[in-house]
A = this chain, B = another copy of it.
């Protein structure tokens, strides 16, 4: 098997500089040719030259008010005690706003200040100054004056200025045309039947979506198989017809990664491999004077490298300067380790908790599309850094508007399926409001409250000694924080097994059986503690349990592992079993509470959330449908300090 495993490892700054230099040398870093289009079609386009007024606006002296046109000299001396009468046609004419002011007049008196005497006579009690309430020729725009500079994105009001001066056509930059070529024999179009090993072809849609939002004309080609000849033909055709070509993927060093080889055969590889994570195996090439970029196959890697290596190029073709990334300063919730020598792009969630903008790292997998859907921004960890300490201030490149982040309620702690329901209803009740939940287990939630990282924490920790839920842990770990403990639900925990329970699992005692593949929850999860308690009571040593060391972070991931036959059983809530059609062996009913520091009691987001759990009928109905929940105390304050 021919395996080319070598790719470069250039630092990002050098890579960007080299790319710009080579694009520039190849003549790719200039704006597109201009084209002339109708002003009526020009919204959002970029001017290709400065635009000057053709006519003055207004192009005649116009009444600026409804009233009468007069000669200012005829009004001299008018006063309360010395009203002046004017006669129609000789000394005044009625005019509406925008009417031509007849040549013999040089001022307008507002209708409110005119007292009609008869059909042909009016009276005024104040004089008027010359050109009062007249829009004189060129008042707004004088012919030949500059209307818009070049490189300017045309806004709605600009259409008005252009048309007002008699322009009906305008020279704008052509829209760069880009083709996104999805490659890979494993790809299938959305909606086609799926076999294991198939990958739904969605990357080209994501990439084209960004390119369209940046103002390019982006098209997608059919899927090209992993045959070099097919890819070669596709690229040759594309560089003839498009200004920019994106190939996705085949950028790695696997046996079916032909993109680099084909680009090299057809033109020049500027670079293959940049020292970033994710996104390392990007290919930057030039074929027949056109940039051809091979993006990595993982969606997150593709999106990051598209932004790094295509955004500026796209803006230059459009004749614009790229706007700088919107950023904000945030405090890192937890320490973050990073590989020395690699520039890392960490997705983070953000939330304003009290006075502090907190950043919490989200998933790091390059294939985790949802982590980018849910992310609020990126944190760049430079290559020379081994990580960032907790509480350190960091700069975040934003993926959402700051006002959206300001309106995010941060929920950290134990995972429960109710949180999705709550997020939806909260958003519907108060659309500006988002619920961002991070699933780090009950202890993680308590620690987040201690470190002021969250508005709310979800917890279901049983104190074995007292048999009491949550309160002993609060007293131990959060003694100094005034807070309320509010019940969300009672819920059933149990062992999930495939439908029909093929291994005949009856309870925790069966986890000691060698053939039973178990899946555990992460350290600090209340569900893990529940497992440990039951195993302890039964005298089962964790080492006896096949899979004790394998950890998942949510009930749904545990259920998914069982549903897909990766494992045989795991402890989770009944709702997860119901969702995925698994059988459920009840083990315990437990209390799931929300910790709410009193500092946030008057936060409108918190008020909206409490209102939802206490009063919203749809909330109760939807939760009842999930299975295994008891809302008898939902919303009740269980304890406060």
Are the CB atoms of A194 and B59 closer together than 8 Å? yes
**Please, which residues of chain B bring their CB within 8 A of the CB of A145?**
420, 556
Q: Quick check: is A501 within 8 A (CB to CB) of the other chain?
A: no
For chain A, residues 232 to 253, give those with C-beta under 8 angstroms from any C-beta of chain B: 252-253
For chain A, residues 87 to 138, give those with C-beta under 8 angstroms from any C-beta of chain B: 94, 96-100, 111-112, 130-131, 135-138
**Please, which residues of chain B bring their CB within 8 A of the CB of A98?**
184, 186, 197, 199, 297
Given A137-B560, A139-B367, A556-B142, are A158 and B255 neighbors across the interface (CB < 8 Å)?
Answer: no
Are the CB atoms of A403 and B324 closer together than 8 Å? yes
Set B43, B131, B197, B563: member contacting A212, Cβ < 8 A: B43
Q: Which of A14-22, A282-290, A422-430, A462-470 contacts B (4 or more CB under 8 A)?
A: A422-430
Given A146-B424, A163-B202, A207-B156, are A253 and B111 neighbors across the interface (CB < 8 Å)?
Answer: yes
Q: Which residue of B lies closest to A428 (CB)?
A: B150
Set B97, B161, B370, B566: member contacting A140, Cβ < 8 A: B370
Are the CB atoms of B213 and A136 closer together than 8 Å? no
**Please, which residues of chain B bring their CB within 8 A of the CB of A130?**
547, 549-550
Q: Quick check: is A61 within 8 A (CB to CB) of the other chain?
A: yes
**Please, which residues of chain B bring their CB within 8 A of the CB of A74?**
none
Q: Quick check: is A561 within 8 A (CB to CB) of the other chain?
A: yes
Q: Quick check: is A368 within 8 A (CB to CB) of the other chain?
A: yes
A54 to chain B, nearest CB (A): 11
**Please, which residues of chain B bring their CB within 8 A of the CB of A39?**
190, 205
**Please, which residues of chain B bring their CB within 8 A of the CB of A255?**
66, 94, 96
Are the CB atoms of B560 and A160 closer together than 8 Å? no
A584 to chain B, nearest CB (A): 15
Are the CB atoms of B194 and A144 closer together than 8 Å? no
For the complex, what is the distance from the CA of A201 to the CA of B164, rounded to whole Å?
A: 8
Are the CB atoms of A138 and B556 closer together than 8 Å? yes
Q: Which residue of B lies closest to A43 (CB)?
A: B209
From A142, A199, A401, A559, residue with most partner B Cβ within 10 Å = A142
Given A142-B557, A159-B206, are A137 and B564 neighbors across the interface (CB < 8 Å)?
Answer: yes
Set B100, B138, B141, B159: member contacting A564, Cβ < 8 A: B138
**Please, which residues of chain B bring their CB within 8 A of the CB of A196?**
59-60, 100
**Please, which residues of chain B bring their CB within 8 A of the CB of A147?**
370, 373
**Please, which residues of chain B bring their CB within 8 A of the CB of A320?**
431
Are the CB atoms of B163 and A205 closer together than 8 Å? yes
This chain's copy number in the assembly: 2
**Please, which residues of chain B bring their CB within 8 A of the CB of A191?**
168
Q: Quick check: is A372 within 8 A (CB to CB) of the other chain?
A: yes
Are the CB atoms of B156 and A200 closer together than 8 Å? no
Are the CB atoms of A373 and B197 closer together than 8 Å? no
A246 to chain B, nearest CB (A): 13
Are the CB atoms of A143 and B560 closer together than 8 Å? yes
**Please, which residues of chain B bring their CB within 8 A of the CB of A213?**
43, 156
For chain A, residues 54 to 70, give those with C-beta under 8 angstroms from any C-beta of chain B: 55-61, 64, 66
Q: Quick check: is A157 within 8 A (CB to CB) of the other chain?
A: yes
Are the CB atoms of A566 and B61 closer together than 8 Å? yes
A10 to chain B, nearest CB (A): 18
Given A97-B297, A196-B100, A566-B136, are A369 and B161 neighbors across the interface (CB < 8 Å)?
Answer: yes
* Chain A window 420-456, contacts with chain B (Cβ cutoff 8 Å), 1 for yes, 0 for no: 1001100110011010000000000000000000000
Q: Quick check: is A261 within 8 A (CB to CB) of the other chain?
A: no
For the complex, what is the distance from the CA of A97 to the CA of B321, rounded to whole Å?
A: 37
Set B58, B150, B212: member contacting A424, Cβ < 8 A: B150
**Please, which residues of chain B bring their CB within 8 A of the CB of A202?**
159-160, 162-164
**Please, which residues of chain B bring their CB within 8 A of the CB of A420?**
50, 145-146
For the complex, what is the distance from the CA of A135 to the CA of B144, rounded to whole Å?
A: 64
Q: Quick check: is A506 within 8 A (CB to CB) of the other chain?
A: no
Q: Quick check: is A166 within 8 A (CB to CB) of the other chain?
A: yes
* Chain A window 18-52, contacts with chain B (Cβ cutoff 8 Å), 1 for yes, 0 for no: 00000000000000000000011001000000100
Are the CB atoms of A40 and B205 closer together than 8 Å? yes
Are the CB atoms of A431 and B369 closer together than 8 Å? no
Q: Quick check: is A203 within 8 A (CB to CB) of the other chain?
A: yes
Q: Quick check: is A620 within 8 A (CB to CB) of the other chain?
A: no
Are the CB atoms of A150 and B427 closer together than 8 Å? yes
Q: Which residue of B lies closest to A154 (CB)?
A: B209
Given A50-B424, A146-B423, A194-B166, are A140 and B369 neighbors across the interface (CB < 8 Å)?
Answer: yes
For the complex, what is the distance from the CA of A611 to the CA of B508, rounded to whole Å?
A: 79
Chain A residues in the interface with B (C-beta under 8 A): 1, 3, 5, 39-40, 43, 50, 55-61, 64, 66, 94, 96-100, 111-112, 130-131, 135-151, 155-164, 166-168, 184, 186, 190-191, 194, 196-197, 199-203, 205-210, 212-213, 252-257, 297-299, 303, 320-321, 323-324, 365, 367-373, 401, 403, 420, 423-424, 427-428, 431-432, 434, 547, 549-550, 554, 556-557, 559-561, 563-564, 566, 579-580
9 contacts between A and B (CB under 8 A): A60-B197, A61-B566, A64-B367, A96-B255, A144-B556, A157-B372, A158-B373, A166-B200, A323-B401
